[in-house]
Structure 1
C-alpha cells in the first residue's frame, strides 16, 4: 500500500468518525439515544503480573490462612468498587500483548505475534488503528507512560528512532514518557526516556530527556511510595516512579480540564513492574518498608521479597492516581471529583514467570504454566474495571462481584471505541463489551479466542480449550471442571477436537513469523469484477528501504478490504467468483447520495471471516449466492441487503433488508436476526413459504413492509407466515399492528414464539 493509500485508510476512519459524531449531534435514536457523557478512560497496565497476584484471585485467601501474601490494597479496593473479570486474557509474552492491545488483532493477525528482536522496528504499522488513534480522533486528550516497546533502538546510552510509523506519537498519543524498545526496558534505570511533546522539532515528535525525579521533589506530590525527597534516592530514577508521576500530573491537569470543558481524556500507564530484574528495587531507600510489619516476609527468598515490594510499590502509585480522580486540583476538597465518570481498567500483559515468587506467593493462582507458555498460567491475567456512574450495586454487572465473562486483551480497543462514540476499526478480532458495562444495548457474542506461544497454540470456546503443540497430540480441557489443565479429554470428544482445530488453523496461527492482516482499497471502475487483482491496491509495509511484507493479487483471507464510492455517481462491483477476506466494508458517498452496490452472482460465496459492514448508501445484492461470516453483517443506517440466498451470519439491521425471492424462501439466515427501531424489513408474499427463515433468534423492532409478488393475490381471511425463527422477541412498530402491501392489501401482523404471520383484513 502506498503512502497515499495509507492516508486514505486513516481518512476513511476519520470520515466515519465525523459521521458518527454528527449523528450524536442530530440525535440519531439508535446510535446515541439517552447516551451518558463519554467516560474518561484510565488504564493501568502491568508487566508479568500473574492472575493470582491480587487479593480477590488468590492473595486474600492466602491472608485468611495466615500464609505469606502480596499486598495490593488499592487494586483490591478497585475490585471491591468494580468488577473482577476472572477470565481475563492477555498474551503469552510482552510484545504481542502490546500489539494486540493497541490494534485489536490477535496473534494470528497482528504483525508482532511473538517476541521478535526486530519487533521494535516494525510491530505497529501506519495502517493499524490503535487505541490512541481512535480516542484522539474522537476528541480525547491522550497520554501514554511506560513501556511502549516499538520504534526505537535498544542502545542504552544513545538510542535513536528506527521507525516513525510505529511510535506512540504516530498513533494518537499526545503526552508521552516512554521506553521504545522492550530490551532497553530490561532495566529500571535507563539514563534517558522518550518524551512528548518535544521541546524542539524532532523525529516523530519525541525527544530524549533524563530519567529523573527532580521535578517532583519538594512540591505538592506524594512522597510515598517513591520517597523521591529522600537524600538517598538515585539521580537516575527508578523508571516506573517517573512514569507514575507523569501520569499523576496528566490526570490532575486533564481532570480540571474535564470539569471546565467536558473534554474527556484517556491515559495508559504501562509500567515495567513486576518484570525482571527484581533486584534493582533493593537499591532504593526503604524499598520494602510496606512489609515491615509482616512476620512472614523475612523468611521469603530474596526474589520473592523484591517481587512483592515491586507489586506493592506500583499499587501505591495507582492509589495516588486514583486519589487524583477524586481531587484533581489537589486542594483537599473532593467536590471536583471526576471519579464517577472515569472508567478505570487494570490488566497484566501476560501471566507471571516461574520463580520463587510463584512458588512462595502463588502469583499465578494455582494455574498451570507460566509466562511464555500456552497454559492458563501464561495467558490468563488479572483484569479489573471500575466505573461508578455505570457499575453499581444495582447494575447488571454489579460492583464488587466476580464475573466469568471471557474478556480478551483484543476486546479493549472496540470497547473504548464504542464508549467514546468512535468507529470500531474494520475486521479486528476484538469484540466490544460496552453493552455489558452500560447494562443496555445488544452485547455481541464472541465465539472463541486464540493464543500463540513458543510451545503451541490454543483456542478457547466457552469452557473448552484445545491446545495444539509442536510434535504432540492435540489436547482438550474443560476449564470449568479442570482449571489447572490436568485432564486431557480429547479422546472422548473427537468431533469437538476436529471442529476446534479447524477454527484455530483458520485464524492463521500456523503462519510463519511476520504474517499479518493487510489493508486493501477498491480501485475498480463501475461494474468491475472483484476477482481481478488490478481492481485492488497492493500492500507493502516497509521502513527505511527494508520491505517487511507485501501482498498483492486477488482478495484473500488475510485482507481487510474496503469498497468505497468516492464519485458523485452510483457504482457497482461484481463478486464474480468466491471471495474470502478477514473484514469487508462497502460504503457509498453519503455526501453526494451516490450508492455503492456489491452484487453477488448465483452460486458464488462471499465470506468476511470476522465481519461484513454495509455503510450508508451501500447495497449488497444477493442473487442466489451465499454470504458468510463467523460473526455478523452490520447494516448501518442507509444501507441495504436485498435479494435471495443463504446468509450464514448474525445480522444487525439498522438499515433495510429486502427479501425478494418469488415462490421460495428469499433468505435462509443461519444465525440470529436483530432489527433496530429505525430499520426496515421488506418481505415478499408469494405463497405459503416464509420470506425469511432464521435458525436462531429474531429480535424485532422498526418497520415491516410487504411486497406482493406478481400474479399473486392475497385472499381475505387468509393468513401467511412470512418469517420463522427458533425464538422471536419484540414486535414491529407499525401503527395499529398493521401493514399495507404493495398492492393496497391490508394485513394484521401476528406473532407467536417462532413465527410472524400476516392475516388479510
Structure 2
C-alpha cells in the first residue's frame, strides 16, 4: 500500500510555558531550530532529480541518424546518446496503448487490463499504481502533455492517474494536427499551431513554472507523431521532399514514398522539439539535475529502413518491438555508453524510482527490473533474462481466438509460431535454428505458456463499462459508443471518429455502456452538426426508466477537413474532422448502477437527425 509522506512536525512549545523558565524555553527553541530548520542541513540534502520522458509514436528503431540512417537528421535526439547512454536492444509492444501501459506501471500490459487500442480496451485497470502516482506522492509536480491513450473517463483519465496537469488528447488517433480540438484537465479546448510544437510548449511552461516554485517535476511528453495522418509543416516536409534517400527497407518495393518522406519530416520535427526541451533545461540551469529519456512506442508505421529487421508496427517480430531508447543524466551516468543487455518499457518505473529515491510499494509485482546497475557500470553479475511480446486473441471466421506470444533473450527470439532465430546474426529472422537449441525452445515455450496461463480472465473480451460521475465532467466520445441500425462511423478506426448517417430508421440508435458511480443529476450537451434542411429532429436520451427529450433547433453544418494537410494521397483508417459545437439538451437524473445510455430519435423531418462527436455530462453540485 502506498501512503502519503507526512513530514514530522516539531513538538509544540506550549508545554514549556508553565513548567520551564524563560531560559529553558529559549534553549528548547534553539534545539528545535537546529533539528528542523538548519539551512546548512537543507543545503546538504541532495535535491531529487527532475524527470523528462519523451515518447514518440510509431517511430522505428531505424528512424534516427544515431542508428545509422542517413536519410534524416536528428542531432538533438542523437545528442542524448553522446551525452548519456544508448540502449542497443530496447523492447516495447507492437502498438501504442500497450507500451504506454507498460511504461506507466512497470508491468506487462496484458496484466493491467489493456487489451487493445480503442473502444475502452486501452484502459489501465483503476487498481494499478502508475509511475505518476508514485512521483506525485513523493512530492513531485506531475504533468503529461500529449497522447494519453490509456482511458478517457475518470478514474482512467490522466488527472486521476497521478498527473495533476494534463494537456492533449486521450484517444489513440487524432484526425488533424493543426489547431486541433484538445483538452486541458478534462475541459475541451483548442490547440494552437502544429500539435507537436504545441504540446512541447505546454511541457516547457510546466517545467519552468515548477522550477520557479522550487519543486521537482515529472514531465511526461507522449507525442503522437509520426503516427498518421501524415501531416507536418511545410518547413520540414520541403527539406525531405526531394532529398536523395540512400537507406531503404530490405524489400524496397514495399516502400510507400510519400508516406516514407512524410515520416522522415515528422521525425525531424520531433527532433527540433526535443532540442527545444533540452535548450529550456539549459536555460533553467538544471541539466545536471534532470534525467531525460527518449524512446518510442513501437516499430515504424510503414516499410522503411530499419536495420534489416523483420516486422513493423503491429508485429511481435523484432522490427515491430525494438525501438530507440536514449537517456542522459550528466554527472550521474556515463557519456557515450552503449548498453548491450536487453531491456524494455517495463523497466522504466523501477529504474526511475530508484534513481530518484522514490519509494514503491504495492501488492502487484513488477515485471520490470531496475536498470541502475547497467547505467552505473555495476553489471558484472547482470543475468540474461527473457522479455515477452504479446498480442491478445484475434478471432477470425472459423477460427478459435488465441493469443500470440514471442519470447526474447539476449541472443534469440522465439516467434509466435515456435520458430527460433539468432537475432544477433539474423535480424531478418530468415533461418529457423530451433533444431539446434531444443532445450532453449522448450524453456521459452514454457515461459510463453505460463504467461498466458497467468493472465486468466484478462484474455477474455473486455466487458468493463464506461464510468460516469467519478468527476464533475464526464466525456463520452463516439469512439466509446456503439452504433445501431443505419448509424455509421466516420472512419473504420473508432478513435477520432464521429457518428453519421443517422437517418431515423426504427433501429437507429447510439449507445454507451456506462456505470454511474452515484445517483446524480447531470446537464447534458451533445457535440453535433446538422444541415439546415435537417433542423427539427426530435430525439431522446434514456437510461433505465429515465428519459430526456430534445430537439435540434439550430443548423450547424461545418465542412469536414483534414485531408488538405495530408502528405499522402490516402489517409487510410483516419477520420476526417469537423468543428462540432455543443448543444444543450437539458438535465437528466441518472441512478447509481450500470446500464445502456441510449440516444435515439422519434421525429426526423429531414434526411438525417444529426452527426454526433461526443456527449458531455456535467454533474450538478
Tell whether the structures are fold-level matches, with TM greater than 0.5. yes
The structure 1 residue matched to 2:293, chosen from 334, 345, 353, is 345
The structure 1 residue matched to 2:154, chosen from 143, 164, 176, is 164
1:483: Cα distance to partner? Answer: 2.4
TM-superposition CA deviations, 1:163-211 (whole Å, max 9, x none)? 201111101111211211113x244247321113xxxxxxxxx211112
The structure 2 residue matched to 1:176, chosen from 142, 166, 181, is 166
SS in 2 for 1:164: coil
TM (norm. structure 1) is 0.51
1:477 aligns to 2:425 (yes or no): no
Q: C-alpha distance in 1, partners of 2:450/2:157?
A: 31
Residues 496 and 47 of structure 1: CA distance in aligned 2, closer, same or farther (over 3 Å) = same
1:442: Cα distance to partner? Answer: 9.7
Q: C-alpha distance in 2, partners of 1:47/1:314?
A: 10
Q: C-alpha distance in 2, partners of 1:90/1:105?
A: 12
CA contact (8 A) 2:93 2:297 kept: yes
1:506 aligns to 2:479 (yes or no): no
1:420 aligns to 2:356 (yes or no): yes
Residues 288 and 509 of structure 1: CA distance in aligned 2, closer, same or farther (over 3 Å) = farther
1:387 aligns to 2:329 (yes or no): yes
Partner of residue 51, structure 1:
61
Q: C-alpha distance in 2, partners of 1:256/1:433?
A: 31
TM-superposition CA deviations, 1:71-96 (whole Å, max 9, x none)? 11101111111111010111000111
Q: C-alpha distance in 2, partners of 1:171/1:100?
A: 14
Partner of residue 96, structure 2:
94
Structure 2 gap segments, 5+ residues each: 9-34, 37-43, 247-254, 395-402, 470-621
Partner of residue 132, structure 1:
132
TM (norm. structure 2) is 0.62
1:38: Cα distance to partner? Answer: 2.3
1:504: Cα distance to partner? Answer: 1.4
1:311: Cα distance to partner? Answer: 0.6
Q: C-alpha distance in 2, partners of 1:300/1:92?
A: 20
Residues 512 and 94 of structure 1: CA distance in aligned 2, closer, same or farther (over 3 Å) = farther
Residues 420 and 74 of structure 1: CA distance in aligned 2, closer, same or farther (over 3 Å) = same
CA contact (8 A) 2:60 2:299 kept: yes
How many residues are matched?
414
1:242: Cα distance to partner? Answer: 1.3
The structure 2 residue matched to 1:39, chosen from 19, 33, 49, is 49
Partner of residue 371, structure 1:
313
Residues 439 and 295 of structure 1: CA distance in aligned 2, closer, same or farther (over 3 Å) = closer
Partner of residue 354, structure 1:
302
State how 1:391-540 maps to structure 2 within 5 Å.
391-392=333-334, 399-424=335-360, 425=362, 426-439=364-377, 445=383, 447-453=385-391, 456-469=404-417, 474-508=418-452, 514-515=458-459
Q: C-alpha distance in 2, partners of 1:210/1:443?
A: 52
TM-superposition CA deviations, 1:588-609 (whole Å, max 9, x none)? xxxxxxxxxxxxxxxxxxxxxx
Q: C-alpha distance in 2, partners of 1:116/1:301?
A: 29
CA contact (8 A) 2:384 2:410 kept: no
Partner of residue 72, structure 2:
70
Residues 443 and 427 of structure 1: CA distance in aligned 2, closer, same or farther (over 3 Å) = farther
CA contact (8 A) 1:145 1:268 kept: yes
Residues 300 and 373 of structure 1: CA distance in aligned 2, closer, same or farther (over 3 Å) = closer
TM-superposition CA deviations, 1:295-316 (whole Å, max 9, x none)? 559x993222211111101110
Residues 422 and 486 of structure 1: CA distance in aligned 2, closer, same or farther (over 3 Å) = same
SS in 2 for 1:77: helix
Q: C-alpha distance in 2, partners of 1:186/1:388?
A: 39
Residues 513 and 187 of structure 1: CA distance in aligned 2, closer, same or farther (over 3 Å) = farther
Q: C-alpha distance in 2, partners of 1:147/1:71?
A: 24
Residues 255 and 347 of structure 1: CA distance in aligned 2, closer, same or farther (over 3 Å) = same
1:142: Cα distance to partner? Answer: 1.0
CA contact (8 A) 2:88 2:338 kept: yes
Q: C-alpha distance in 2, partners of 1:73/1:13?
A: 41
CA contact (8 A) 2:414 2:421 kept: yes
Q: C-alpha distance in 1, partners of 2:345/2:370?
A: 11
Partner of residue 288, structure 1:
237
CA contact (8 A) 1:53 1:365 kept: no
CA contact (8 A) 1:457 1:509 kept: no
Residues 509 and 77 of structure 1: CA distance in aligned 2, closer, same or farther (over 3 Å) = farther
Partner of residue 633, structure 1:
none
Q: C-alpha distance in 1, partners of 2:383/2:216?
A: 29
CA contact (8 A) 2:346 2:368 kept: yes
CA contact (8 A) 1:79 1:400 kept: yes
Q: C-alpha distance in 2, partners of 1:107/1:405?
A: 22
Q: C-alpha distance in 2, partners of 1:509/1:309?
A: 43
Q: C-alpha distance in 2, partners of 1:19/1:40?
A: 21
Q: C-alpha distance in 1, partners of 2:149/2:50?
A: 25
1:35: Cα distance to partner? Answer: 9.1
**Cα root mean square deviation, aligned:** 3.1
Q: C-alpha distance in 2, partners of 1:174/1:105?
A: 23
CA contact (8 A) 1:108 1:507 kept: no
CA contact (8 A) 1:436 1:443 kept: no
CA contact (8 A) 1:193 1:210 kept: yes
Q: Which has the higher contact order (CA 8 A, sep 6+)?
A: 2
1:276 aligns to 2:276 (yes or no): no
CA contact (8 A) 1:41 1:266 kept: yes
CA contact (8 A) 1:477 1:489 kept: yes
CA contact (8 A) 2:196 2:273 kept: no
Residues 115 and 509 of structure 1: CA distance in aligned 2, closer, same or farther (over 3 Å) = farther
Partner of residue 314, structure 1:
270
TM-superposition CA deviations, 1:463-495 (whole Å, max 9, x none)? 1221223xxxx1111222222222111122222
